[in-house]
Structure 1
């Protein structure tokens, strides 16, 4: 496989990053994590853990595809409706792939990108 030349001028195999790109990616991730806050700061605390466990026990399958549910999704996000954070009628059980698709769609809409299909 031929090498590629990075923006900083390094020559690396395709599909890999040079040390400069790796450092830059780590800095971006650290900055994003600092802005985002901890899970507890975002509303995912001990109370959330309890209701999540109970909800998955009573709703063991994904509401989209019927697979085993491993995630609990907020229909209205915590940011949008913090008062509904622990209200069961605002929750739905999902498998990881369906929850990931839903999250990506919601985030693309929040950032003004075109809606995902």
Structure 2
């Protein structure tokens, strides 16, 4: 099977196919750190003790992931609430998900939807 040739990074370094240059990794980490400084913490976003209790009760009633059927660990908001407390507490907007489904497929879908909305 053919292998793609290495590429030249903007910093001038040679990067193997499929890899990221250390300078790109560093820039991405710095960008994420800048974003995290401006983002409210979880309590400020509504994920407090009241949410923890509601989440635990929901997971007792819905113990399996709605996407794959594995044991659910998280309660996801199907429609992102973006600070809207009515939508945040709307139980019809909640879905039980396992960590891989929430951290992988669901996040990719939300990023794609955000990208489509900005275009």
Instruction: Give the SS at the match of 1:111.
Output: helix
Partners of 1:12 and 1:108 in 2: CA distance: 27
Partners of 1:12 and 1:94 in 2: CA distance: 37
Partners of 1:48 and 1:76 in 2: CA distance: 17
| Unmatched tracts of structure 2, length 5 or more | none
1:3 Cα shift? 6.2
Instruction: Give the SS at the match of 1:26.
Output: helix
Partners of 2:73 and 2:7 in 1: CA distance: 40
**Of 2-11 and 89-98, the range deviating more from structure 2:** 2-11
- 1:23 corresponds to: 26
Task: State whether residues 56 and 72 of structure 1, in contact with CA within 8 Å, keep that contact through their aligned partners in structure 2.
Answer: yes
- Counterpart among 98, 102, 106 of residue 102 in structure 1: 106
- 1:86 corresponds to: 89
Task: State whether residues 76 and 90 of structure 1, in contact with CA within 8 Å, keep that contact through their aligned partners in structure 2.
Answer: yes
1:104 Cα shift? 2.1
Task: State whether residues 51 and 86 of structure 1, in contact with CA within 8 Å, keep that contact through their aligned partners in structure 2.
Answer: no
**Of 94-103 and 51-60, the range deviating more from structure 2:** 94-103
1:79 Cα shift? 1.4
RMSD of aligned residue pairs (Cα, Å)? 2.6
- 1:37 corresponds to: 40
1:68 Cα shift? 0.9
TM-score normalized by structure 2?
Answer: 0.71
TM-score normalized by structure 1?
Answer: 0.72
